[in-house]
Structures are given as C-alpha cells and as structure tokens.
Amino acid sequence: MLLAVDVGNTSTTLGLFDGATLRHQWRVATDARRSGDEIAVLLGSLRALDGAPAPDRAILASVVPTAERAWGAAAERLGVPLDVVSAARTRGWLRVETDRPEEVGADRLVNAVAATAYPGDAWVVVDLGTATTFDLILAPDRLRGVAIAPGLEVAAEALATRAAKLGTVALAAPERAVGRTTSEAVRSGLVLGHAAMVDGMVERFTAEAHAELGTDAHVRVLATGGWAGVVADASARLDEVRPWLTLEGLRRLADGA
C-alpha cells in the first residue's frame, strides 16, 4: 500500500493506494508545529477510523519545509520509506520551461504529472486552495508556466479583517449576482467574482496554448483543491473537478506509470 501525502499551507491531503486504486483519502489541517511522533499518531488514528491497512511506502509533496522534515521523522518512526518530490524527482516526467524551474512548487509539479494522464493536447490545472494557481501544460510533458492569485478563503479573510462592518459569510454562491443584502453582496463578490477571475484566467491560458499549438488543439481544464467544488458551481470554464488530482500525480511518480 502506498501512502501519498500533499502538504499545503492550509490543509494536508492524504491518500492510501492499492495499486492504482485510491482506497482511502483524508484531509486534515496543516500544522507546521506537529512533530514526527504526532504525525505518526495522527496517521494511526485516521487509519483506525476507516479500518485502513498500514502503508509499506510513502511519497510526499510539500510546500511547508518544517512539515516536510516532520513527515520524514514520522516515516522513519513507522519504518516506511519516504520519497520526497522535487524538481529533480520529476525529470523524465516533465520539462519545466519556466525561467527558474527551482522555484516551481512541488504541488505544481505533481499536478502537471497528474494532468498528462488525461487525454488532451494541453491542460490547464486550476488548484483552488490557500492560493488559486493556474498551470499550463503542453503535450506531451511541457510545464509552460504558472499564475498565482489569492485563494477564495484568503480573500474572504482579508475583506472581513479590513472592512469590519461586512463580517464573515458562508462561502457559497448566491442565487444572483446583484446582491440585495450585505451577505448576498459579499458572497456575490467573493464567490462569483472569484469564479469570473478563474474563467478569465482560463480563457487567457487557453489562448496562449492555442497560440503555440494552433486553434484546433484540445485544451482540457481540470480543477482541484479544497474550494474547487464551490467555484466550479459558479464557473463556465472548468471542464471537470478532480479533488484528488495531486494524489493521482504522486501515485504516478511513485509507481512510474
């Protein structure tokens, strides 16, 4: 059994694979203060909750350096070999065509590896988490570049902090764009506004893909991340939501297929 771990700034996603089949998946809050022992206990509790077997190997993508070290200690404590994703680890899978490939986050690399398993001439991966990121991958394996914007929850927290009279609202799309209450107005601006930003960026990424590949190229748009479902309901340009896309990419890297 393979344990795939994606450590993000806000949440950590874990998946337990039996071959290519994702048998169990969990999402927990990222806490950079957790020690290796605490992570080992947490993992044992999650497995017990679902009656999941113990992994015999693990692979990790992390954008939190302290968490990466703690997961290494946890893997050592559990006697499970740990494979840590880096730009070097994805050679043979991806050609990173940014000016500074070493700056591309492990999650971006893994999502690109996952996307290329789907049919298409190019892929736009929209990852809606702490940040909302956009990756353009051109077939067969060219990570052409990335865009990064504040995530939906980050925008909501900033608005609530800087505009005290607005307060916090549930992050769900309202029935109409023109709000008739303060709550509706804030939800419209946050959720529908974020979806419009996503659609506009996808439009731009698609246009740049067509400029390189020709207008007949099929550009497939994949959404992932904790806010993907909320934004996809209000978006016109997200082809499909793949909530465990990063785990899929980790599995491909671990298994070499």
Active site residues: 107
Task: Please answer whether residues 8 and 242 qualify as being in contact, where contact means their C-beta atoms are separated by less than 8 angstroms.
Answer: no
- At residue 203, φ and ψ (nearest 5 deg) are -60, -45
Q: In this structure, is the dihedral angle defined by the CA atoms of residues 37, 42, 44 and 45, taken in order, positive or negative?
A: positive
Residues 171, 232: Cα–Cα separation, whole Å: 13
What is d(CA 206, CA 186) in angstroms, rounded to the nearest whole number? 29
Q: How far apart are CA 65 and CA 55, in angstroms?
A: 23
Tell me whether the omega of the peptide bond preceding residue 140 falls within 30 degrees of 0, making it cis.
yes
DSSP lists the bridge partners of residue 165 as none
If you ran DSSP here, which 8-state letter would residue 53 be given?
A: P
User: In Å, what is the CA distance from 50 to each residue of 4, 22, 24, 44, 90?
Assistant: 16, 13, 8, 10, 32
Amino acid symbol at 37 = D
> Per the structure block, which two tokens stand in for 1?
């059994």
- Residues 110 and 59: their CA atoms lie apart, in Å, by 11
